Amino acid sequence: MGLTAAQKRTLRRALQALVSDVSTKGTRRIAPNRTDETRVGGDEDEQALNEMLQAIASDRNRASGDVLGRAQRALEKLDQAPDEAGTCEECGEDIPWGRLKAMPFAELCVSCQGKRDRPHHGPTRRGPTDFR
Ligand SMILES: [Zn+2]
């Protein structure tokens, strides 16, 4: 269930680009609008990858803090439990491919992410429920 082989391949490449880019901090830059000249892949794969790289490039500026860890976890998941890649860690539902393209390291579906971002109890983000 979940992702097709091609989608997993695309996801892996985007995550690897993200991990290597963040961990080398500025020595390598993602160039979202350029494709790798030597690689001739399926057009749809390339297009999805480009969308991911563009999303990463903008996400990185906002949330460079834990993106690296999340991307590394997502890569480990692809290796160790590929069937669970692209599914929500909370409810097990498939995470829509469109969401993964915008956020390849997403571990929750939209509704579970919403619950986590806006806990019912307590107006502040600090406290015992903040385990991040
Ligand atoms: Zn969920």
Q: Which residues of 74-111 are buried (b: 16+ CB within 10 A; e: fewer)?
A: bbebbeeeeeebbbbeeeeeebebebbbbbbbbbbbee
pLDDT tens for 35-72 read 555 555 567 788 889 888 887 777 555 556 678 889 99
Q: What separation in Å is there between the alpha carbon of 20 and the centre of ligand 1?
A: 28
Gap from CA of 89 to ligand 1 centroid (Å):
7
Mean pLDDT (whole number) for 110-118? 90
Asked if 11 contacts 104 with a C-beta cutoff of 8 angstroms, the reply is: yes
Interval between CA 111 and ligand 1 midpoint (Å): 6
| Separation of CA 98 and ligand 1 centre (Å) | 15
Does the predicted TM-score (pTM) go above 0.85? no
27 has a pLDDT exceeding 50: no
Instruction: Identify the residue with better confidence: 127 or 101.
Output: 101
Structure confidence at residue 131 (pLDDT): 54
The stretch 68-87 carries a mean pLDDT of: 92
Can you list the domains of the chain with their CATH numbers? 5-32+41-117 (1.20.120)
Retrieve residue 7's tokens. 């989608």
pLDDT confidence of residue 93: 94
| Phi-psi sector, 62: left (phi>0), alpha (psi -120 to 50), beta | alpha
- Alpha-carbon distances of 30 from 8, 17, 39, 130, rounded to whole Å: 20, 7, 16, 32
Question: How far is ligand 1, taken at its centre, from the CA of residue 106, in Å?
Answer: 11
Query: Has residue 22 got a pLDDT over 80?
Result: no
The arithmetic mean of pLDDT across residues 70-98, rounded, is: 94
